[in-house]
Structure 1
Amino acid sequence: MARHGGFSGGMPGMNMNNLMKQYQKMQKKLSETQEELAKKEYLGQAGGGAVKITVSGEKKLTKVELDKEAVDPEDVETLQDMILAAANQALMELEQDSQEQMGKLTGGMGLGY
């Protein structure tokens, strides 16, 4: 009598050792890509370059550059807005690059990177 519904220990043509090797290879590539991204720097600018913010691939602010003309004691709010805009732009650049690089590896599997 034929058995129905059981697990045969694998799919036809699939070798568990090969699957593990592929998984380990992908994990290594993901790790290498994350390390590469962490070493990168992303620049955000506002006010025509009067405010520049640099963010590392580890999502840390590493540099703030202010043009002397951007510093107006009578208009601190504008400077604050430019700093926020530049920082957000740098972080957005980082996020887009990260998604693009990880997407290449995951093939759009939606792993949340």
Structure 2
Amino acid sequence: MNQMMKQVQKMQADMLKAQEELKNEEVTATAGGGMVTVVVTGDLQVRSITIDPEVIDPEDPEMLSDLVLAAVQQGLQSAQDHAAKKMQPLAGGLGGMGLPGF
């Protein structure tokens, strides 16, 4: 039982460390052939949105809105995928402990 508690404590510390690291890791997503670029951190914070001036059409603001939305959604999905890959080996350590649901 003592050994299992040590494993759980180590796993918790490893997960906290990974979560802290994700705050500093970034993914980049684009839409419109690179006309809109979004940078998202591993903890799902949008760091920046860059819009190429060529895509700004005062006659068609909906197109720009759609491109920004697409880039943000892609960035958030990429960040979630990155975080899942980073956390998966840590969560996989629960399997041998006999904990319910793992």
What TM-score do the two structures reach when normalised by structure 2? Answer: 0.86
Counterpart of 2:98 in structure 1 is none
RMSD: 1.7
Greater RCO (CA < 8 Å, at least 6 residues apart): 2
**As a proportion of its length, which structure holds more helix?**
2
- AA partner of residue 27 (structure 1): Q
> Given the alignment of the two structures, is residue 89 of structure 1 paired with residue 74 of structure 2, yes or no?
yes
- How many residue pairs match? The answer is 96
CA displacement, residues 48-92 of structure 1 (integer Å, 9 cap, x when unaligned): 000011112232221111111110111111110000000001000
Counterpart of 2:20 in structure 1 is 35
Gaps in structure 1 of 5+ consecutive residues:
1-15
What TM-score do the two structures reach when normalised by structure 1? Answer: 0.78
d(CA) in 1 for partners of 2:37 and 2:83? 21
CA displacement, residues 9-51 of structure 1 (integer Å, 9 cap, x when unaligned): xxxxxxx111111111111111111111111112110010000
Gaps in structure 2 of 5+ consecutive residues:
96-100
d(CA) in 2 for partners of 1:91 and 1:54? 9
> Given the alignment of the two structures, is residue 52 of structure 1 paired with residue 57 of structure 2, yes or no?
no
